[in-house]
Copies of this chain bind each other. A is one copy, B any other.
């Protein structure tokens, strides 16, 4: 099911331009709106008191995020790079009160979020550092519509972000990328550009992004 602008008729909306690092909303805040990424990348994260971060998801253009149905933000959202967003005003509980079309659209967006989180769990589960990085690059390539060999991939987030997303130490991520490079699977062109050399991806063939709901 694809979401269109019409599904959110009746909701006030406006554009937001968020510079790199800008917090869109914080944990434990009251949820008064949800968002759609128009360009850039937003990371959904939980900050620990020990300074560590846990990144639950990356939101790329077209993704809806911020649909906390119980009215409270369970995680913070921050722009990983300069991003353009559309903000949809909606009183909590988000999406439960709007027009009928919006209710279905919200349910659909929630389902996609479930798919993303389940895929994340699958990507990390029972996978070593190599497979985690392969899975991440494959996911990003798919999101960028890249499928051919020798395709250039743009990373819209820092190494630290990727490491926190994959639950790896930054050092391990760096070493793993070097290993994949020596295996001729990728080519690291600076910090934000990677060339995929092998399309024959089978990280033990754990299937691509797994989608499921409830």
List chain A positions with a Cβ less than 8 A from chain B: 1, 34, 44, 46, 48-50, 52, 54, 56, 64-70, 72-75, 93-96, 100, 103-104, 106-115, 117-118, 120-122, 124-126, 167, 204-207, 210-214
Contact = CB atoms under 8 A, between A and B. Distances in A.
Contacts of A44: 212
Q: Determine which residue in A34, A70, A210, A214 has the highest number of CB atoms from chain B within 10 A of its CB, and name it.
A: A214
Given A46-B122, A49-B205, A95-B107, A68 B167 contact: no
Nearest to A54: B125
A179 to B, nearest CB: 21
A69 B107 contact: yes
A68 B214 contact: yes
Q: Determine which residue in A46, A52, A125, A212 has the highest number of CB atoms from chain B within 10 A of its CB, and name it.
A: A212
Q: Determine which residue in A64, A113, A124, A211 has the highest number of CB atoms from chain B within 10 A of its CB, and name it.
A: A113
A93 B56 contact: no
A210 B111 contact: no
A121 B69 contact: no
A48 B111 contact: no
Given A54-B122, A114-B114, A214 B70 contact: no
